[in-house]
Amino acid sequence: ILIRQHKMRGTVMKEHGKAIRRVGNVVFVALLLVTLYFLAAAIGRTVAWVTTWVVGAYSPQDVMGWGVDMLSLLFHYLLVGFLVFVAFIFRTISREETPFVKSVSRRMKLAALFLLIGLVLPNWAGQIINNLLGQSSGFTFFDESNTLVVILSVIIYCFALIFDYGCRIQQENYEIL
């Protein structure tokens, strides 16, 4: 009876592994396609920035516009990097046929940190530049977008901790068998 249950469990695990592999590959490819879209947009904005600020219409009064455009470019390239990073998390999940791998939880923690740093810091830098140039006064530590990013980062980090726990349970399960 135990051997039959073990074989049945193995069959179910293989089916789940195949499903995880398929979904992981689909998400990986979808994220890479979205990344290509954002990369094309970032390159287009870079070309526009170079032609506007470096080659042509730069004047000392336009320092504010130059800084805002530069931060926007930084944001786009950080978003591209983040999407590639997340895509490869799904690639690892599909190759291993399980999300309960130490490298996945470690990368998720890094993704949470990358998201927090990559999206909140440029916003704060823009506010500081605006204040230094006299374009605005005051500083908003948490506006709606920053709050959303912080919450999303915390959620991703919590999922990483859950995956850590799943790794330990899976390891204990393998040791028992």
| Pairwise pLDDT comparison (21 vs 142), residue with the higher score | 21
Query: Average per-residue pLDDT in the chain?
Result: 82
Q: Which of 24-28, 63-67, 91-95, 99-103 has the lowest mean pLDDT?
A: 63-67
Residue at 32: amino acid letter = L
Residue at 108: amino acid letter = M
Q: How many residues does the chain have?
A: 177
pLDDT of residue 81 exceeding 70, the answer is yes
**Using an 8 Å Cβ cutoff, are 156 and 111 in contact?**
yes
pLDDT digits (tens, 9 = 90+) for 142-165: 677 788 888 999 999 999 999 999
pLDDT digits (tens, 9 = 90+) for 50-72: 777 666 665 655 655 666 677 77
pLDDT of residue 124 exceeding 80, the answer is no
pLDDT score, position 111:
94
pLDDT score, position 12:
59
| Region 23-32 average pLDDT | 95
**Using an 8 Å Cβ cutoff, are 126 and 146 in contact?**
no
**Using an 8 Å Cβ cutoff, are 71 and 125 in contact?**
yes
pLDDT digits (tens, 9 = 90+) for 30-50: 999 999 999 999 999 888 877
Residue at 86: amino acid letter = V
**CA Rg, the chain, in Å?**
22
